[in-house]
Amino acid sequence: MKGYVVLISIVAALGGLLFGFDTAVISGTINFIQPYFGLSEAGLGWTVSSLLLGCIAGVIIAGKAGDLYGRKKVLMLAALLFFVSAIGSATANELFIFVVSRVLGGIAVGIASILSPMYIAELSPAKYRGALVSLNQLAIVAGILIAFFSNYLLVNTGENNWRFMLLVMAAPAVLLFFSLFFVPESPRWLAAQGRHSESLRVLIKTSGTENAENELFEIVETLDVLEESYYLDLLEPKIRPLLFIGIILAVFQQITGINTIMYYAPKIFANVGQSNNSALLQTILIGGTNLIFTIVAMVMIDRFGRKKLILIGSAGMTIMLAGLSFLYFTKHTTGIMVLLFILGYIAFFAASLGPALWVVATELFPNRLRSKGMSLAIVALWSACAIVTITFPVMLEKLSGGITFLIFAIICLANLLYVWHYVPETKGKTLEELENEFSKDTESPNLKSRGHKSK
C-alpha cells in the first residue's frame, strides 16, 4: 500500500517539479534576455514576475475547476500549459510573445501549486501525509536544481542559449500529462461527487481493506455532498481563524525573500564581481543545498511536527540574512562569503518553511472548503511573490544590498513570532480528525491562545 501511494505521489509531484523548474529557469536567462529585449531594472522585474501574475490566475482557476472536474483532469490541463509555455517562450522574438508564454506557464504553476499537494494529501494515510506532501516540495526543489544545472550546461551554446534553457521544460510536461492516465482520482473528491463505491476502491488501495470503510465513513460524515460550498463560507466563525493562518503563513513564506534568491541569484553574484559562468555554477550549489535540506525536512516533519521546524528555520533564516546584510554594510561582499550566507539561508528555509507551508495548507481546511481555502492562501502567496519579485531589482539598486537583506531578516523574525503565537500543530491526525478538532471548539487552546478568537 505504501508503495502504491508513493508511486501516485511521485506522479502528482511531477507537477511540483515543473513548478520548480519553470519558476527557477528564468534566473539563468535574465543576463541574456535583459539586453535582448532592452529591459531596464524595473522592466526586468515586471518581465520576470509575469509568470507570477499567471500563477495567481492559475490558483483561482484550480480551486473551482478542481472541484468541478477533479484534481486529475485539471493537472492534465496544467501539463499542456507547461508544454505550450516552453515552446512559446523559447521561440519568442518579441517581448509580448515572451510575456504571454510566461503567463501561460504561470497559470500552469498556479494550478500545480494548489492541486499537486492537495491531491497527495487527499490520497495519503495520516501517518505518512507530512512526508508524502513534502515529496511535492522535494519535486519543486528538484525542478529548481535541474533548471540551474541545465542553465549551466547550456550557457555556452551561443546567442540562443536562453532559448534552449526555456525549451527543456517541454520534456517533463509531456511526462506529467501521460503519467496522469495511470493514477486514480482523489477519494475525497469522488466522495464529494457521491461516487462512494469508486472512493472506497481507491481507499482500499491506499489505506488497506481494514481501514478503508471507516475512512470513507469519516469522509462522508464531514462532507455534506448535497451542499455546495462558497468562498463566503470561509468567513464562518469556525473557519475564519484557519483562513487567516493559511493566508498569513503563505505570505510570510514569500516575503522572507526566498524567490529573490531563486530568481536573481546570478544577478546577486554578478553584482559582487562573479562572471556569468561562475554565477550559474554557484546557483547549482544553491539548488543542491535546497534539495538536501528538503529531504531533511521530509524525514523530520512527521516526527517533530510542522510548527517546531518552522520556528527553528525562521530563526536560522533571520541570522543568515542579517549576516548577509552585515557583509554589504561592511563591504566584505566577496563571492565566497555571500555564497556561504545564501546557502545557510537556503538550508534553513528548505528544512522548514518551504515544505511545511504546503503541508499545513492542506491540513487546515475542512473537506468541503479545502480547495477554496487553499486557493485563497496560495493566491496570497503568489501575490506576495510577485510584489517581491517586481521590487527586488529596484530595491537592490536604490537601497543597497545591506538595507534590502536587513528588511528580509526583520520579516523572518516577524514570521517566527507569528508562528510561535498563532499557528497550531497538525501532525499525526487524519484530515477528518483535524476538521472535527477545529470545528468542535474554535476557542480551544490551539487557536484561542494564539489570538485567532472568533467573534
Burial of 389 (0-12, 13-18, 19+ CB in 10 A): buried
Residue pair 140/18 in contact (Cβ under 8 Å)? The answer is no
273 in the Ramachandran plot: left (φ > 0), alpha (ψ -120 to 50) or beta? Answer: left
- Confidence bin at 179 (pLDDT 50/70/90): very high
Residue type at 219?
A: I
pLDDT of residue 433: 63
Specify the pLDDT at position 224.
Answer: 55
Which one has a higher pLDDT value, 338 or 358?
A: 338
Checking if the pLDDT of 129 tops 80, the result is no
Half-sphere exposure of 72 (CA within 13 A, CB side): 17
Weakest-pLDDT range from 65-79, 211-225, 279-293: 211-225
Is 452 or 326 the better-scoring residue by pLDDT? 326
Cell of 189: 473528491
CA angle 290, 426, 114 (to 5 degrees): 55
- 90-99, 187-196, 366-375: the lowest-pLDDT one: 366-375
State the Cα angle at 199 between 196 and 202, rounded to 5°.
155
Q: Specify whether domain 2-183+228-448 bears CATH 1.20.1250.20.
A: yes
Q: What is the spatial distance between Cα 167 and Cα 337, in angstroms, rounded to a whole number?
A: 33
Each residue's pLDDT tens digit, 189-248: 888 888 888 888 888 888 777 777 887 887 777 665 445 667 787 787 778 888 888 899
Q: What pLDDT does residue 435 have?
A: 61
Name which of 157, 183, 155, 140 is nearest 30 in CA terms.
155
Q: How far apart are CA 99 and CA 46, in angstroms?
A: 9
Cβ atoms of 2 and 126 closer than 8 Å: no
SS3 53: helix
| Mean pLDDT, residues 392-407 taken together | 86
309 membership: H or E segment, kind and range: helix 306-329
| pLDDT at res. 214 | 81
Tell whether the model's pLDDT for residue 319 goes beyond 50. Answer: yes
CA distances (Å), 48 to each of 251, 266, 376, 381, in order?
19, 14, 23, 16
Average predicted confidence (pLDDT) for the chain: 83
Task: Tell me the pLDDT band of 450, cut-offs 50, 70 and 90.
Answer: very low
Task: Name the CA dihedral angle for 32, 37, 42, 45, rounded to a multiple of 10 degrees.
Answer: -60
Rounded average pLDDT over 74-84? 94
Q: How far is CA 423 from CA 317, 328, 448, in A?
A: 18, 34, 11
For helices 353-364 and 276-304, angle between their N-to-C axes, nearest 10 degrees: 50
Decide: 19 and 116 in contact? Cβ < 8 Å. yes
Rounded distance between C-alpha atoms, residue 184 and residue 448, angstroms = 39
